[in-house]
Amino acid sequence: MTTLSFRQVALQTATRATASKTSPLFPTEVGTVRARSLVILLVYTILLCSVLALASPVAVRYKEGVLHGFLVLSTLDGKPIAEGDLTQVPHGNHIMSHLRYHFKDGSRQEETTVFSQRGNFRLISYQLVQKGPAFRHPTEVSLQAASGQVMVQYTDDDGKEKTINEHMKLPPDLANGLVLILLKNLSPDAPPLEVSMLVTAPKPRLVKLAISSQPKEPFTLAGSGREALHYAIKVEIGGIAGVVAPWLGKQPPDSHVWILGGESPTFVKSEILSYLGGPIWRTELVAPVWPETPESKNESKEKH
C-alpha cells in the first residue's frame, strides 16, 4: 500500500471538492461555497507547509573560528587515495572554509565555502573543483546564494568542455559545504533535520538531505574508549525523478557522519558520496608522522 504525504492528500481532497460542485447530488449554492472555502483553506495550508519545509535553519550553538585540520581520504575498504587539509579563517562577519585533497593519481578536489553565523548558519557562496582521473566527469561548480547565480563547467562523455549558467531560486537552508558544521551544532535529542543541497548531474538541481540520528558507536583514542554520535544522510531527489530513481538504480546511497559530542563537538569520521553516480569515500582525521632520528631508533631498540 502506498503512503501518501499530507500534501498529496490535500491536493486530492481539493480536486474532489472542486469536482463535487458539478455533481447533481451536491446542493448547488451551499456546496459551491463550502467547496470554495475548502479549496482556499487547503491551498493556504499547502503553501504554508511549503514555506515551512523550505526554511530549515540550524541555530548557531558553537561559533566557528580559525582551524587547520589534516585529513585522509580512503575507500571503504581502508585504502588511502588522497591526503587533505581543511582550513577556516574568519573575514569580518564571514567564515571562509577551504578543503583541499591531493590524490595519489594526480587528481585534485577543492571546496571553498563562505558562510555567516549570525544566529543561524547561512551559506553565502560555494565553489567545488573536481578534476583528474578519480572523477568520471571533471567538474567545476560555483554559486552565489543571494543572487541565485549558478555556474557549472564540466567535461562530457566525448571529452568536450561545456558550461551551464543558470539563475535559480536558492532556498535559505542551502547546505553545500556546511553539513559537517550543521551536525556539530545539533543537540543530541534534536528531531530529524532536512536541508537543501545543489547537485549537478551535470545540470544543476536542488535536492533534499534528510538527516537522522542513529545509535551511538564506540571508538578509541590511544586505547581510551569514547562514543560518537552517528548521523545518516539520505538524498531525496524529489519529483518524478525521485519516484523512478530507486527503480532505475539511480537512488544515491546514504552517507554517514560521526561527531564526538560534548562541550566542544568535533568531526570524527564521514562516509560520503564522492559525486552523483560515484563511490562512497571515507574521510578521517590524521596526525603528522615524523621521520625517525638516531635517538628515536635507539629508544625503539631498547623497548624491544
Could you tell me the pLDDT band of residue 304, with boundaries at 50, 70 and 90? low
Identify the residue whose cell numbers are 586505547: 223
Distance (Å, whole) CA 274 – CA 100: 14
**CB contact set of 238 (below 8 Å; sequence gap of 6+):** 206, 207, 208
Dihedral over alpha carbons 207, 62, 262, 184 (to 10 degrees): 10
Q: Where are the domains of the chain?
A: 6-54, 67-285
Q: Pick the most confident of 35-49, 51-65, 84-98, 280-294.
A: 84-98
Q: State the distance between the two ends of the chain, measured CA to CA, in whole angstroms.
A: 66
Q: What confidence category does residue 95 fall into, taking pLDDT thresholds of 50, 70 and 90? A: very high
- How many CB atoms within 10 Å of residue 229? 21
pLDDT at 258 over 70: yes
Q: Which residue has the higher pLDDT, 122 or 304?
A: 122
Tell me what pLDDT residue 142 has.
98
State the sign of the Cα–Cα–Cα–Cα dihedral 297, 69, 83, 267: positive
- Given a cut of 80, whether residue 62 has pLDDT beyond it is yes
Q: How confident is the model at residue 237 (pLDDT cuts 50, 70, 90)?
A: confident
pLDDT at position 282 is 98
- Beta carbons within 10 angstroms of residue 180's beta carbon: 19
Please report where in the chains the cell 559545504 appears, as a residue.
Answer: 177
Q: Which residue has the higher pLDDT, 2 or 252?
A: 252
Q: What is the pLDDT, as a whole number, of residue 202?
A: 86
**Of 15-29, 118-132, 176-190, 269-283, which range is least confident?**
15-29
Of 188, 279, 176, 292, nearest in space to 231 by CA: 188
Query: What does the pLDDT average to over 263-276?
Result: 93
47 pLDDT tier (thresholds 50, 70, 90): very low
Q: How many C-beta atoms surround the C-beta of residue 12 within 10 A?
A: 12
Report whether pLDDT(217) > 60.
yes
Cα angle, residue 145 at apex, residues 139 and 150 outer, rounded to 5°? 35
d(CA 182, CA 123): 11
Stretch 87-114: mean pLDDT, rounded? 96
What whole-number percentage of the chain has pLDDT above 70? Answer: 74
pLDDT of residue 187: 84
Residue 79: its pLDDT value, please?
97
Range of lowest pLDDT (15-29, 46-60, 86-100): 15-29
Mean pLDDT of the chain: 81
